[in-house]
Structure 1
Amino acid sequence: MLLRPGLDELLKYVDNKYTLSVLVAKRARQLLQQAQKKVDITNFNSDKYVTMAVNEVASGKISYKYVKPVKKNEIKK
Protein backbone atom coordinates (compact mmCIF):
# COMPACT_ATOMS: atom_id res chain seq x y z
CA MET A 1 0.00 0.00 0.00
CA LEU A 2 1.42 3.35 -1.03
CA LEU A 3 1.09 6.34 1.19
CA ARG A 4 -0.33 9.37 -0.57
CA PRO A 5 0.99 11.97 -0.11
CA GLY A 6 4.45 10.44 -0.03
CA LEU A 7 6.92 10.63 2.80
CA ASP A 8 9.10 13.15 0.95
CA GLU A 9 6.12 15.48 0.59
CA LEU A 10 5.20 15.13 4.27
CA LEU A 11 8.76 15.78 5.44
CA LYS A 12 8.51 19.29 4.00
CA TYR A 13 6.26 20.12 6.98
CA VAL A 14 8.14 18.36 9.80
CA ASP A 15 11.79 17.92 10.66
CA ASN A 16 11.95 14.10 10.70
CA LYS A 17 9.87 10.95 10.27
CA TYR A 18 9.62 10.35 14.01
CA THR A 19 8.06 13.75 14.62
CA LEU A 20 5.71 13.04 11.72
CA SER A 21 4.68 9.75 13.27
CA VAL A 22 3.89 11.32 16.64
CA LEU A 23 2.12 14.29 15.04
CA VAL A 24 -0.11 12.10 12.86
CA ALA A 25 -0.90 9.72 15.73
CA LYS A 26 -1.89 12.53 18.08
CA ARG A 27 -4.04 14.24 15.44
CA ALA A 28 -5.74 10.95 14.51
CA ARG A 29 -6.54 10.44 18.19
CA GLN A 30 -8.04 13.95 18.34
CA LEU A 31 -10.19 13.23 15.28
CA LEU A 32 -11.43 9.98 16.83
CA GLN A 33 -12.37 11.81 20.04
CA GLN A 34 -14.22 14.46 18.01
CA ALA A 35 -16.14 11.75 16.18
CA GLN A 36 -17.12 10.17 19.48
CA LYS A 37 -18.41 13.57 20.63
CA LYS A 38 -20.48 13.79 17.43
CA VAL A 39 -18.47 16.73 16.07
CA ASP A 40 -18.87 17.10 12.30
CA ILE A 41 -15.80 15.77 10.48
CA THR A 42 -17.54 15.00 7.19
CA ASN A 43 -15.40 17.40 5.18
CA PHE A 44 -12.71 14.71 4.82
CA ASN A 45 -12.40 12.36 1.84
CA SER A 46 -11.62 9.37 4.03
CA ASP A 47 -13.17 7.50 6.89
CA LYS A 48 -9.80 6.60 8.42
CA TYR A 49 -8.49 9.01 11.03
CA VAL A 50 -4.81 8.44 10.27
CA THR A 51 -5.44 9.24 6.59
CA MET A 52 -7.27 12.40 7.61
CA ALA A 53 -4.35 13.42 9.82
CA VAL A 54 -1.78 12.72 7.09
CA ASN A 55 -3.76 14.83 4.64
CA GLU A 56 -3.91 17.67 7.16
CA VAL A 57 -0.13 17.56 7.55
CA ALA A 58 0.35 17.53 3.77
CA SER A 59 -1.90 20.55 3.34
CA GLY A 60 -0.08 22.50 6.06
CA LYS A 61 -3.12 22.67 8.36
CA ILE A 62 -1.23 21.27 11.34
CA SER A 63 1.70 22.90 13.08
CA TYR A 64 3.74 21.80 16.05
CA LYS A 65 6.42 23.09 18.35
CA TYR A 66 8.89 21.51 20.70
CA VAL A 67 8.59 22.41 24.35
CA LYS A 68 11.31 22.26 26.95
CA PRO A 69 10.77 19.39 29.40
CA VAL A 70 9.99 20.43 32.96
CA LYS A 71 12.28 19.05 35.63
CA LYS A 72 10.80 17.72 38.87
CA ASN A 73 12.37 20.48 40.95
CA GLU A 74 10.76 23.13 38.67
CA ILE A 75 7.20 21.94 39.34
CA LYS A 76 5.30 24.23 41.67
CA LYS A 77 3.02 22.58 44.19
Structure 2
Amino acid sequence: MKFQAFVEQVTEKEVHLFVHDTSVVLPRCCLPPEVQEADILDVVVFVNEKETQRQLDKLRHLLRACGVHRARSLQAKTSD
Protein backbone atom coordinates (compact mmCIF):
# COMPACT_ATOMS: atom_id res chain seq x y z
CA MET A 1 0.00 0.00 0.00
CA LYS A 2 1.25 3.46 -0.84
CA PHE A 3 1.10 6.35 1.57
CA GLN A 4 -1.33 9.05 0.57
CA ALA A 5 -2.09 12.29 2.32
CA PHE A 6 -3.44 15.60 1.17
CA VAL A 7 -5.07 18.79 2.32
CA GLU A 8 -8.80 18.42 1.74
CA GLN A 9 -9.86 21.94 2.66
CA VAL A 10 -8.57 25.07 4.36
CA THR A 11 -11.21 27.33 5.87
CA GLU A 12 -10.98 30.39 8.06
CA LYS A 13 -11.37 28.23 11.17
CA GLU A 14 -10.16 24.72 10.23
CA VAL A 15 -7.69 22.71 8.19
CA HIS A 16 -8.95 19.35 6.91
CA LEU A 17 -6.20 16.83 6.18
CA PHE A 18 -6.70 13.33 4.84
CA VAL A 19 -4.00 10.84 5.86
CA HIS A 20 -4.43 7.29 4.52
CA ASP A 21 -8.05 6.55 5.41
CA THR A 22 -8.28 9.05 8.28
CA SER A 23 -9.61 12.58 8.08
CA VAL A 24 -7.89 14.98 10.49
CA VAL A 25 -9.51 18.32 11.33
CA LEU A 26 -7.21 20.88 12.92
CA PRO A 27 -8.40 24.22 14.28
CA ARG A 28 -6.51 27.07 12.57
CA CYS A 29 -5.79 28.53 16.01
CA CYS A 30 -3.54 25.54 16.83
CA LEU A 31 -1.20 26.33 13.93
CA PRO A 32 1.94 28.26 14.81
CA PRO A 33 1.73 31.90 13.64
CA GLU A 34 4.57 31.37 11.16
CA VAL A 35 2.54 28.73 9.28
CA GLN A 36 0.74 30.47 6.43
CA GLU A 37 -2.00 29.03 4.23
CA ALA A 38 0.51 28.50 1.42
CA ASP A 39 2.61 26.37 3.79
CA ILE A 40 -0.41 24.23 4.59
CA LEU A 41 -1.19 23.71 0.91
CA ASP A 42 2.48 22.84 0.28
CA VAL A 43 2.03 19.89 2.62
CA VAL A 44 -0.04 18.08 -0.03
CA VAL A 45 1.42 14.59 -0.36
CA PHE A 46 1.15 12.09 -3.19
CA VAL A 47 3.62 9.25 -3.49
CA ASN A 48 5.97 10.11 -6.33
CA GLU A 49 9.42 8.64 -5.91
CA LYS A 50 12.05 10.92 -4.32
CA GLU A 51 9.74 13.64 -3.04
CA THR A 52 7.74 11.32 -0.79
CA GLN A 53 9.84 11.21 2.39
CA ARG A 54 10.61 14.94 2.23
CA GLN A 55 6.90 15.73 1.93
CA LEU A 56 6.09 13.32 4.76
CA ASP A 57 8.66 15.06 6.94
CA LYS A 58 6.94 18.40 6.25
CA LEU A 59 3.56 16.89 7.09
CA ARG A 60 4.93 15.31 10.27
CA HIS A 61 6.42 18.66 11.34
CA LEU A 62 3.13 20.48 10.74
CA LEU A 63 1.09 17.88 12.62
CA ARG A 64 3.51 17.85 15.55
CA ALA A 65 3.33 21.64 15.71
CA CYS A 66 -0.43 21.22 16.05
CA GLY A 67 -0.12 18.67 18.85
CA VAL A 68 -0.74 15.51 16.80
CA HIS A 69 2.03 13.35 18.23
CA ARG A 70 1.17 10.19 16.30
CA ALA A 71 2.59 12.01 13.27
CA ARG A 72 6.03 10.68 14.18
CA SER A 73 4.93 7.27 12.86
CA LEU A 74 4.38 8.52 9.31
CA GLN A 75 6.64 6.59 6.97
CA ALA A 76 6.84 6.47 3.22
CA LYS A 77 5.65 3.17 1.76
CA THR A 78 7.26 1.83 -1.37
CA SER A 79 5.50 -0.39 -3.87
CA ASP A 80 6.85 -3.90 -4.33
- TM-score normalised by length of structure 1: 0.28
Identify the structure with the greater helix proportion. 1
Give the greater-gyration-radius structure (CA).
1
- TM-score normalised by length of structure 2: 0.28
